[in-house]
Amino acid sequence: MPRAVEVHLNDREKMKRIVWCGILPLILWGLVACAPGKSDREESARLYAEAVSRLDGDGVTIADCLAAQELLEQAIEADDENIDVYFGKVLNELNLWRPDSAYQTATTAIEKIGPDGQNRLKAYFYTVKGFISYDRGDEADARVQLSEALALYDSYLKEEPANMDYLLNKAVLLAGLEGKEAASSFIVGLPLNAADKQMLNESLAGFEAGQFGETWRAKHEALVAAGESAHQEAPDTVTPITQP
């Protein structure tokens, strides 16, 4: 099964990977008048790191996700060009199971990167939008978003043809757009050794587009349950956080 992005965000390299969540899951206020200063960028990075720390570990609850969401929103206010923050915010909005917010955050991030921007998280944002649309039942929009992601991975593979993450993501996108047979044919034609092809095929075998929403909803319910359990065990140590 394709590698899943974990519910909590534990390091930058893991977070660079595309979100498959169990199957491998607003424009803000317009452009600021001037670029953020060094202090704003540093504050944004600090807030982002603090949010990540709230979501790192085995005991993460829904309260941690809500606290992290506030930090991520503050990080964007400090520097709305910090694409890493949008990346974390999308994941956390899926933790909170706010798919509409996650879709809009991804849209904003794509706009911030721009049509000629080289930040490779752009493919991730298109992919998340595509699978959110698929979960909504909007197949037309899902195809538009996933096709954009596929085109980006094609361009990335021209520069890094042996990048296994990109190859895996392309195979899954092909499966979502054209079916598993097309994805399997793509893998067969790759100049890879047998072990690498087997890994790609095993990952592809676990792919089901419909599992995106199902799996993220289950993760959200687990986070809520963890919070309720923690409250029952130590009611005096849990600080209630109002959902923004």
Distances (CA, A) of 193 to 5, 45, 173, 201: 26, 40, 22, 12
Query: Which pLDDT value is given to residue 231?
Result: 59
Q: Would you place residue 38 in the very low, low, confident or very high pLDDT band (cuts 50, 70, 90)?
A: confident
**What does pTM read for this prediction?**
0.79
For residues 223-238, b (16+ Cβ closer than 10 Å) or e, as one string?
Answer: bbebbeebeeeeeeee
Nearest to 221, CA basis, from 70, 97, 56: 97
Of 3.30.2350.10, 1.25.40.10, 3.40.50.2020, 2.40.50.100, the CATH number of 12-29+38-233 is 1.25.40.10
The answer to whether residue 36 scores a pLDDT higher than 80 is: no
Query: Which pLDDT value is given to residue 58?
Result: 83
Query: Which pLDDT value is given to residue 143?
Result: 97
Distances (CA, A) of 134 to 51, 126, 183, 230: 29, 12, 19, 34
| pLDDT tens digit sequence for 153-203 | 999 999 999 999 999 999 999 999 999 999 999 999 999 999 999 999 999
For residues 28-57, b (16+ Cβ closer than 10 Å) or e, as one string?
Answer: beeeeeeebeeebeebbbebbeebbebbee
Region 37-56: mean pLDDT is 91
